[in-house]
Amino acid sequence: MNEQLNDAPCGFLTLSEEDAILSINRTLLKILGYDHEQLEGKHFNFILSASAILFHQLYLVPLIKLENHIEEIYISLKAADGEEIPVLLNAVRRVRVGSSVIECVVIPMRKRNELENELLLAKKEAMTALHAKNEAYSDLEKAHEMVKMQKEELIEVNGKNEKYKMETEREMELAKKIQEALLPVPISNEHLDIQAYYKGANQLSGDLYGYYQIDDRRFGLILLDVMGHGLSSALITMSLHSIFQRLILKGSEVETVMKELDDILHSLFRNTSETSYYCTGVYLLIDTDKKEISYINAGHPPVILQDMNGKQYHLQSNRPPLGMFEGISFKTNAITYNKDSFLFLYTDGVEEPIGPDQLCTLIKNHSTAPLSTLKQEIINSLRVEENNDSYKDDQCFILVKLN
Amino acid sequence: MNPNILLRNNVKLKGNGTRPMIFAPGFGCDQNVWQSVAKDFEDEYQIILFDYVGSGNSDLQAYNVERYSSLEGYAQDVLDVCSALDLKDAIFVGHSVGCVIGMLASIKHPEYFSKLVLVGPSPCYLNLPDEYYGGFEKEQLLGLIDMMEKNYIGWATAFAGTVMSNPDRPELKQELEKRFCSTDPLIARQFAEATFFADNRKDLAKVKVPSLILQCSEDVIAPAAVGEYIHKHLPDSTLNMMKATGHCPHMSHPEETIFLIRQYLDDSSAIDV
């Protein structure tokens, strides 16, 4: 080995095909802390760290075999004192005088190695962060997909709801027509004139009225207000309607009519203690010959009777609402009237928005006007109040002019 | 024949014979390591060379982290190739970890194989005190993995990324073909962990296919004691100590390797007759 190579600023060694050390320069001997004699003829593994022995065998041996050279390989050498020295290795395999020799150059890279360690660490951290980011992103994607699916489900359910709603509305419209078909047409004869107004808070109403000419002198007037409003209340009015129509037309006594209605309400809910419906109501039996009104008011707003001079009498409630207490007795009251008196029957849906005093004044002020005018005035007042207020209840009233 | 598997594992068929002979590379290497040895058998055998998914010129897109986290996944590659080619009674020649991979494959489907030739096998690389000598301490194996990682900084990172993301650029694949023994660093690391931390000692007894163990002298990776251990526990096995040194006799001493394989195949076929 020439002097220049011997003291070159890099380690140099040659290996046999079998990886025995053939020659080694002074620089490398100094790095490793060995004498020439200690290494010559030794296997290359002798100056490799344990990991490098594996790496050399797994990678470098086949690489050199197949490609005849390797470049920039990082391995660690093992010095005489056991220290592991990170080095960069280049090697070339040359055929010389029939046998091949592997020439190696090694350069220690302690400082660069530290830098690379730092870089690797940073890279690992970056990979971990990237992995976490990707995980989070994939979770988000999943959540997004879920929301999309739920939205689609909602749209579908909504469509079904819409269809159901339309069907229900159609049914309710039909039910409303059936309910309205039960209402009597206005009566106008030599004994009296009757007009009525009827409006449900929803399509269906819990209010119901009826008036019937029983014979040539007697008329029956009934007004009921089932608690609540809407479908359930409307169904109850329907079941009550068939009862009262039959009883009234038969000319039953006032207390008989009310007692029967009370009984039917109790019997409807006998088996279901959780539900019970009650109903306020008033029944008036008018005898036009005697000019006498027999009546029972069960928890209902007072019926206003106004005589020809404008004096008003209130036919007050003297019984609890129907269906509330079982087995109570009903007592009929009676009052006589003069020619040209007014009767005004109404539900609380009319009384509450206008106010009882205002209602009385309204009737008094229009006592000489035709019934239809008074009716319109009351409706107008209701409209005004409705606009001011969100109050919503079934509304019903009956106006009777007694001749 | 399933063309997808053949592409996936970069299967190459050579030779003029009908009896199949399949060569499995060891850790970190591709089918090129078998060049010299395989060539010698071309006249009488059908030669099958392949790369594991993740190494050589295999389809990296087919790599699955879960599957290839254990040697069973690599054994499945061998079985897939055998199944795709409809092999029967093949001679399996494996190197290093390729031996365990072949043993695992033969346990699952012994009908594919007639003989196993195991070059430098080891069922477990770790030393287990008072129990087993594999040749390595855990720290040394971890050091190897670190060293692999650092060398990728210098010579593999650049192309690993580009190949993965440019499947439509064949010139990069050409480039890859030249890069013997280099793979994607993450895949190489996983393969290293699957290989060097595996313990397949219990599987030896399950192998039913007869086998030849070729044990090198002075093999630091699979020392002679390991070869003897395998011979003792592997049923119907023949142990042959080689003059060749190192861990890659098929590359460093192809003549001796060929000679011993031939001798074994001839002897055992004589017994068959």
Chain A residue with CA closest to B144: the answer is A51
Per CB-CB distance under 8 Å, the chain B contacts of A54 are: 136, 140-141, 144, 220-221
What pTM value is reported for the model?
Answer: 0.58
Residues A334 and A388 grouped into a single domain = yes
| Residues A318-332 as b or e (16 or more Cβ within 10 Å = b) | ebebbbbeeeeebeb
Residues A164 and A204 grouped into a single domain = no
A303 touches chain B (CB under 8 A): no
Averaged pLDDT, A315-339: 90
Q: Which of A40-54, A369-383, B85-99 has the lowest mean pLDDT?
A: A369-383
- Predicted pLDDT at B183: 61
Residues A95 and A140 grouped into a single domain = no
- Predicted pLDDT at A391: 58
Domain that residue A276 falls in: 183-402
Residues A271 and A244 grouped into a single domain = yes
pLDDT over 70 for what percent of chain A? 98
- Predicted pLDDT at A251: 92
Residues A203 and A266 grouped into a single domain = yes
- Predicted pLDDT at A386: 72
Rounded CA-CA distance A279/A348 in Å is 12
**Closest C-alpha among B145, B23, B122, B253 to residue A65:** B253
Instruction: Please state, rounded to an integer, the average pLDDT across all residues of chain A.
Output: 90
| Strand order, beta sheet including A341-346 | A187-188, A192-199, A395-402, A341-346, A303-306, A312-315
Residue A378 is given by DSSP the state: H
Confidence tier at B99 by pLDDT (50, 70, 90): very high
Last residue of a domain, which of A60, A81, A110?
Answer: A110
- Predicted pLDDT at B169: 42
- Tally of domains in chain A: 3
Confidence tier at B167 by pLDDT (50, 70, 90): very low
Per CB-CB distance under 8 Å, the chain A contacts of B220 are: 45, 53-54, 57
- Predicted pLDDT at B182: 53
Between residues B167 and A8, which one has the greater pLDDT? A8
Residues A44 and A135 grouped into a single domain = no
Averaged pLDDT, A369-380: 88
CATH classification of the domain holding A20: 3.30.450.20
| pLDDT tens-digit readout, A251-285 | 999 999 999 999 988 888 776 666 677 899 999 99
Q: Which of A345-354, B111-120, B161-170, B224-233 has the lowest mean pLDDT?
A: B161-170
Query: Rounded to a whole number, what is the largest CA-CA distance in chain B?
Result: 55
Do the beta carbons of residue B28 and residue B181 sit within 8 Å? Answer: yes
Token digits of residue A102 = 């592997």
- Predicted pLDDT at A246: 94
Residues A370 and A232 grouped into a single domain = yes
Residues A220 and A258 grouped into a single domain = yes
| pLDDT tens-digit readout, A178-227 | 888 889 988 899 999 999 998 877 778 888 999 999 999 999 999 999 98
| pLDDT tens-digit readout, A223-258 | 999 987 778 888 888 889 999 999 999 999 999 999
* pLDDT of B84 over the 50 cut: yes
Amino acid at B111: E
Residues A92 and A123 grouped into a single domain = no
Do the beta carbons of residue B34 and residue B104 sit within 8 Å? Answer: no
Between residues B58 and B163, which one has the greater pLDDT? B58
- Predicted pLDDT at B271: 52
| pLDDT tens-digit readout, A11-32 | 999 999 889 999 999 999 999 9
Residues A159 and A199 grouped into a single domain = no
B147 touches chain A (CB under 8 A): yes
Residues A24 and A148 grouped into a single domain = no
Q: Which of A348-357, B146-155, B196-205 has the lowest mean pLDDT?
A: B146-155
pLDDT over 90 for what percent of chain A? 56
Per CB-CB distance under 8 Å, the chain B contacts of A51 are: 140-144, 146-147
Q: Chain A neighbours among B 156-185 (CB < 8 Å)? A: 180-181
Do the beta carbons of residue B120 and residue B247 sit within 8 Å? Answer: yes
CA distances in angstroms from A153 to A141, A144, A163, listed in the order given: 18, 14, 15
- Predicted pLDDT at A390: 57
* pLDDT of A138 over the 50 cut: yes
Cβ within 8 Å of residue A211, ≥6 positions away = A184, A187, A194, A196, A219, A220, A221, A222, A398
Last residue of a domain, which of A150, A176, A202?
Answer: A176
B56 — alpha (psi -120 to 50), left (phi > 0) or beta?
left
Last residue of a domain, which of A92, A110, A128?
Answer: A110
Residues A229 and A313 grouped into a single domain = yes
- Cite the active site residues of B: 96, 219, 247
ipTM, 2 dp? 0.76
Token digits of residue A150 = 């739920």
| pLDDT tens-digit readout, B193-251 | 999 999 999 999 999 999 999 999 888 889 999 999 999 999 999 999 999 888 889 98
CA distance B188 to chain A (A): 12
CATH classification of the domain holding A294: 3.60.40.10
- Predicted pLDDT at A199: 85
SS3 content of chain A, % helix, strand, coil (to 5): 45, 30, 25
Confidence tier at B270 by pLDDT (50, 70, 90): low
Confidence tier at A126 by pLDDT (50, 70, 90): very high
**Closest C-alpha among A108, A105, A107 to residue A15:** A105
Angle at A161 between CA A160 and CA A163, to 5 degrees: 65
- Predicted pLDDT at B196: 92
